[in-house]
Amino acid sequence: MLSPDFWAQALWETLYMVAVSTVVSYAIGLPVGLLLVVSDKGGIRPIPVLNTVLGVVVNILRSVPFLILGVMITPMTRAITGSSIGTTAMIVPLTMAAAPYVARMVESSIKEVPFGVIEAAQSMGASPWQIVWKVLVPEAKPSLMVGGAISVVTILGYSAMAGFIGGGGLGAVAVTYGYNRYQFDIMLVAVIIIVVVVQIFQEAGLWLARRLDKRNR
C-alpha cells in the first residue's frame, strides 16, 4: 500500500492542476461567454459574424474528446511549458478542453437574466459595457456560481483522465498502480478520494450560490 505522503502529494498535484486550469479557463471562457451573449441576435450589441465565428470555434473544441485533444496539442503544450508530460504540462490541455465548456456555461447563465432588467438599464442610459458588468454579471451570480462548481468538477474529471497521457495527480496513481499493475485497491482509494473532492467542490458551489441568490434573503 502506498504511504500517506504519497497520497497527499498526488492530491496536491490534482488540486494544483484543477485550480490553475480553472482560473485560466475562466480568464478565457468568461469574456468569450459574455461576447456570445452580447453579440447574439437580440443581444445588446448584435454582431452576427463574430457570434457565428465564436460559436463555431467553441463547438469544435467542445466536440473533441479530452484524451484526443491532449494528444493533438502536444506540440503546443511542449512549446508553452517545455514538456508534454507532468502536472504543469497538463494544465494546457485541461484549459483548452475546459475554456469552451466554461464559455457555454457563462452564456447559459447570463441568458437567464430577465430581459426586462436589461431594458430598464438601457432606459436609464447605461452603456453596453455598464449593462454587462453592472447588470448582467451581478444578476447572474448565483447561476454563474453553480456553473463554476460544475466546471470545476468537469475539470477534475479531465485531470483524472490526464493520467493516461502523462499527467500527474490521482489519475496518474490510478492508471500507473491500479490499471497497469492490477492493484485495484489503490485504484479504489484514488476513486474514493476523487469522489470526496467532487462532493466538496459541488456542495461549496451550491452553498455560495444560495448565499448570493437574492430570493433567499
By the 10 Å C-beta count (0-12 exposed, 13-18 middle, 19+ buried), 147 is classed as buried
Retrieve residue 144's grid coordinates. 454563474
Q: Which residue has the cell 443581444?
A: 43
Query: Looking at residue 215, what is its pLDDT?
Result: 58
- Gap between the Cα atoms of 163 and 174, Å rounded: 8
Q: Specify the pLDDT at position 89.
A: 92
- Give the pLDDT confidence score for residue 127 in this predicted structure: 85
Can you list the residues of the chain whose pLDDT is less than 50?
none
Return the DSSP state at 177: I
- What pLDDT score does 210 carry? 82
Do residues 195 and 184 touch, judged by C-beta distance below 8 A?
no
Q: What angle do CA 203, 209, 211 make, to 5 degrees?
A: 105
Residue type, 54: L
Q: Look at residue 209 in the predicted model and tell me its pLDDT.
A: 80
> Of 85, 106, 88, which is closest to residue 29 (Cα–Cα)?
106
pLDDT given for residue 152 in this prediction: 92
pLDDT at 9: 92
Q: Which residues of 73-127 form beta strands (DSSP E)?
A: none
- Architecture of domain 4-113+125-216 in this structure: Orthogonal Bundle (1.10)
Whole-Å CA distances, 113 to 75, 126, 169: 41, 16, 38
Non-local CB neighbours of 75 within 8 Å, separated by 6+ positions = none
Domain ranges of the chain: 4-113+125-216
- Bin 213: left if φ > 0, else alpha if -120 < ψ < 50, else beta: beta
Please give the Cα distance from 24 to 91 (Å, whole number).
9
DSSP one-letter code for 175: I
CB-based burial, 111-142: b 16+ in 10 Å, e otherwise = bebeeeebeebeeeebeeeebbeebbbebbbb
